[in-house]
């Protein structure tokens, strides 16, 4: 019954396999235009990931898995005797598309492990695995939605950052999945969403998803978050993650760290929601996570319109690191880790 209620707020799919190719909802065009990009190769898929047609760690991983399916099809048709060797270069093209999101590497490694068992044409079994990865992500999001919602006492509202919904995942969402579940069960009445500069994922994407699913929401500038907390308007900050280190440090969209600092000062709880595919036990701490720096034009311009003074320069890290000490709960499909430590993370990942 609960899942039926939750599904009423699950109307969007940004990544789809149709016939023999990949279709992505172009997130650069939202919210005013719903346009789709048709992809037929690993090269085009990597470019779509790099250029933010698709974004969000789980969605990037799923997209890369489908990209490898198309690469395997091409390599097998063109080089049937040594397609595995040829496929390595295609895999590296996908692997290097964005360096911070660990789900991309996780999905490609899982796909490549499947290759070891394949005789003959690889397309069929690889497509089956990519679709399984996609479906597993959706199911994990529903599970995380239930687990995260259970932590939230009835309250007026929560605050979120960036976009962690159906657009960033296989469907339903991670942090936004928790928010959808909490709203469906009457735990919260309202959502505040950071604009999330410089790509405006909050104003362009999260607000679009919330409006589409009829969940009441207000946009706020990042600089307004502390005042919002001081006035007692939110009980939790709920965010996603692009990579979680073995000690519970979290890499997420730039601005997450400042929210965690503000939340701790104001007595607001801080929740990170991500599948275990986002947890990188080979990375000891957040200091070891590579942080992608994107072109400075993204800060100097809005769209194609320059807003900064001529000759001004910009620093544009795409992510920051929130230390585990500022996190009240990490929610995964395997369970919840409260006040994360290396030992608690190890127990979670061994389960």
Q: pLDDT per residue over 227-281, tens digit each?
A: 999 999 999 999 999 999 999 999 999 999 999 999 999 999 999 999 998 999 9
Looking at the predicted structure, is the pLDDT value of residue 343 above 90? Answer: yes
Place of tokens 């005797």: 81
Which of 111, 139, 167 is a domain's end point?
A: 139
Tokens of 181: 């579940």
Structural domains in the chain (count): 2
Looking at the predicted structure, is the pLDDT value of residue 339 above 50? Answer: yes
Calpha distance 240→259 (Å, rounded)? 13
Calpha distance 103→99 (Å, rounded)? 10
Span 6-27, average pLDDT: 85
Res 10: pLDDT: 72
Res 198: pLDDT: 95
10 flagged as catalytic: no
CB atoms within 10 A of CB 293: 12
Res 7: pLDDT: 56
Q: How confident is the model at residue 9 (pLDDT cuts 50, 70, 90)?
A: low
Identify the CATH number of the domain in which residue 34 sits: 1.20.120.420
Calpha distance 321→252 (Å, rounded)? 7
Looking at the predicted structure, is the pLDDT value of residue 8 above 90? Answer: no
Are both 340 and 252 inside the same structural domain?
yes
Strand 335-338 relative to strand 329-332, pairing: antiparallel
Are both 131 and 159 inside the same structural domain?
no
Are both 253 and 298 inside the same structural domain?
yes
Are both 129 and 169 inside the same structural domain?
no
Are both 163 and 310 inside the same structural domain?
yes
pTM more than 0.85: yes
Domain that holds residue 272: 151-350
- Across the chain, mean pLDDT equals 93
Kindly name the residue from 137, 194, 213, 242 that is annotated as catalytic: 242
Residue 145 located in a structural domain: no
Are both 220 and 309 inside the same structural domain?
yes
On the CB side of 196, how many CA atoms lie within 13 Å of its CA? Answer: 26
Looking at the predicted structure, is the pLDDT value of residue 167 above 80? Answer: yes
Residue 39 located in a structural domain: yes
Which of 139, 170, 192 is a domain's end point?
A: 139
């Amino acid at each position: 019954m609960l899942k039926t209620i939750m599904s009423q707020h699950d109307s969007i799919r940004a990544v789809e396999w149709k016939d023999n190719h990949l279709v992505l909802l172009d997130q650069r065009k939202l919210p005013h235009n719903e346009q789709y990009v048709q992809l037929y190769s690993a090269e085009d898929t990597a470019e779509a990931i790099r250029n933010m047609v698709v974004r969000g760690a789980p969605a990037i991983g799923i997209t890369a898995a489908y990209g490898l399916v198309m690469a395997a099809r091409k390599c097998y048709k063109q080089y049937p005797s040594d397609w595995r060797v040829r496929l390595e270069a295609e895999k590296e093209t996908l692997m290097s598309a964005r360096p911070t999101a660990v789900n991309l590497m996780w999905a490609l490694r899982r796909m490549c492990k499947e290759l070891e068992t394949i005789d003959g044409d690889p397309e069929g079994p690889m497509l089956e695995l990519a679709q399984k990865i996609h479906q597993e992500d959706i199911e994990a999001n529903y599970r995380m939605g239930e687990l995260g919602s259970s932590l939230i006492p009835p309250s007026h509202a929560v605050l979120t950052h960036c976009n962690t919904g159906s657009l960033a995942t296989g469907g339903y969402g991670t942090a936004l999945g928790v928010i959808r579940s909490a709203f469906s069960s009457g735990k919260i009445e309202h959502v505040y969403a950071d604009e999330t500069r410089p790509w405006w994922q909050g104003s362009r994407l999260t607000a679009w998803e919330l409006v589409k699913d009829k969940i009441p929401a207000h946009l706020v500038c990042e600089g307004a978050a502390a005042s919002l907390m001081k006035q007692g308007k939110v009980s939790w900050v709920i965010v996603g993650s692009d990579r979680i280190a073995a000690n519970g440090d979290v890499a997420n969209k730039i601005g997450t760290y400042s929210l965690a600092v503000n939340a701790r000062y104001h007595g607001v709880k801080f929740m990170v929601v991500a599948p275990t595919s986002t947890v990188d036990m080979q990375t000891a701490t957040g200091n070891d996570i590579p942080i992608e720096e994107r072109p400075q034009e993204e800060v100097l311009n809005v769209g194609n319109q320059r807003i900064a003074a001529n000759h001004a320069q910009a620093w544009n890290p795409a992510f920051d690191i929130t230390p585990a000490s500022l996190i009240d709960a990490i929610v995964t499909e395997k369970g919840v880790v409260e006040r994360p430590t290396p030992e608690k993370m190890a127990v979670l990942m061994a389960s």
